[in-house]
């Protein structure tokens, strides 16, 4: 049986009429912690997709990406308790996510196009700069998050599974990946991996493996 645990995180909905709030973010335990990527160093797989409207449900953690919030402008030292911002990248109908109106207002229309944050955003909090443990976030964290977002445009996804956005029954060996510049064919052996410069192998195997399938 998969072990689960909830941590309080902040939801920033894309709809302006819904206020940011604290939600219970579901996590499931990893079978191991070999991944070097921040969201997985705590030994849990997070499931922000539960709160992301229009996201492609069948792909679980493959449908979102993340951005580390470690410091704000003109700040020389990182936060002792950093955050990770989760945002959707694959929609269930392959259409763009709606612009997040809350963040657009925070940024005072300073960003446009691909730099606009889109969809429902989840912000999780961590106990230390190594992301080894999660901790409970609260609305007291929101002013700091607003300051960060005021000068931070949306990042480019580290990888986007193009064909996964089109079908929930994809042959792994046929998947192509947008690595930020062009679609890259995946060389399939016993497993298939995105480009080496996009994600580490261990993280991808965690995201693709059966961890999420056990709870969906």
- pTM of the entire predicted model: 0.73
Tokens of 151: 């000068």
Q: Is the pLDDT of residue 3 over 80?
A: no
Q: Write down the pLDDT at residue 192.
A: 31
| Overall average pLDDT of the 51-80 stretch | 87
Q: Convert the pLDDT of each residue in 106-157 to its tens digit.
A: 999 889 888 999 999 999 999 998 888 899 999 999 999 999 999 999 998 7
Tokens of 140: 């007291």
Q: Write down the pLDDT at residue 30.
A: 77
Closest among 214, 206, 211, 175 to 39, alpha carbons compared: 206
Q: Write down the pLDDT at residue 176.
A: 39
Distance in angstroms (rounded) separating the CA atoms of residues 59 and 84: 20
CA dihedral 197, 162, 47, 4 (to 10 degrees): -80
Tokens of 177: 């990946």
Q: What band does 11 get if pLDDT is binned at 50, 70 and 90?
A: very high
Q: What is the mean pLDDT of the chain?
A: 75
Please provide the distance, in angstroms rounded to a whole number, between the alpha carbons at the two ends of the chain.
Answer: 13
Q: Write down the pLDDT at residue 188.
A: 30
Q: Convert the pLDDT of each residue in 169-205 to its tens digit.
A: 444 333 333 433 333 333 333 233 333 333 333 443 4
Q: What whole-number percentage of the chain has pLDDT above 70?
A: 68
> What are the strands, taking DSSP E only, across the chain?
4-12, 21-29, 44-46, 64-69, 83-88, 121-126, 134-135, 160-161, 176-178, 183-185
Q: Write down the pLDDT at residue 79.
A: 93
Q: Is the pLDDT of residue 77 over 50?
A: yes
Supply φ then ψ for residue 141, to 5 degrees.
-80, -15
Q: What band does 34 get if pLDDT is binned at 50, 70 and 90?
A: low
> Within 10 A of 105 (CB to CB), how many other CB atoms are there?
12
Angle at 19 between CA 18 and CA 20, to 5 degrees: 125
Q: Which residue has the higher pLDDT, 168 or 107?
A: 107
Distance in angstroms (rounded) separating the CA atoms of residues 161 and 198: 12
């Amino acid at each position: 049986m998969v072990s689960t645990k909830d941590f309080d995180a902040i939801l920033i909905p894309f709809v302006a009429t819904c206020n940011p709030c604290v939600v219970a973010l579901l996590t499931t335990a990893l079978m191991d912690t070999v991944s070097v990527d921040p969201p997985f160093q705590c030994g849990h797989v997070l499931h922000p997709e539960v709160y992301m409207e229009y996201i492609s449900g069948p792909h679980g953690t493959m449908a979102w990406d993340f951005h580390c919030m470690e410091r704000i402008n003109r700040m020389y030292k990182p936060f002792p308790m950093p955050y990770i911002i989760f945002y959707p990248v694959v929609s269930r109908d392959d259409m763009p996510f709606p612009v997040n109106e809350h963040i657009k207002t925070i940024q005072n229309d300073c960003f446009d196009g691909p730099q606009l944050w889109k969809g429902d955003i989840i912000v999780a909090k961590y106990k230390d700069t190594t992301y080894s443990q999660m901790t409970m976030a609260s609305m007291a964290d929101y002013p700091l998050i607003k300051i960060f977002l005021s000068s931070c445009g949306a990042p480019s996804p580290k990888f986007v599974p193009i064909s996964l956005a089109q079908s929930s029954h994809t042959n792994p060996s046929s998947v192509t990946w947008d690595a930020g510049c062009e679609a890259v064919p995946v060389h399939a052996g016993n497993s298939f991996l995105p480009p080496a410069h996009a994600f580490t192998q261990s993280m991808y195997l965690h995201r693709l493996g059966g961890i999420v399938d056990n709870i969906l």
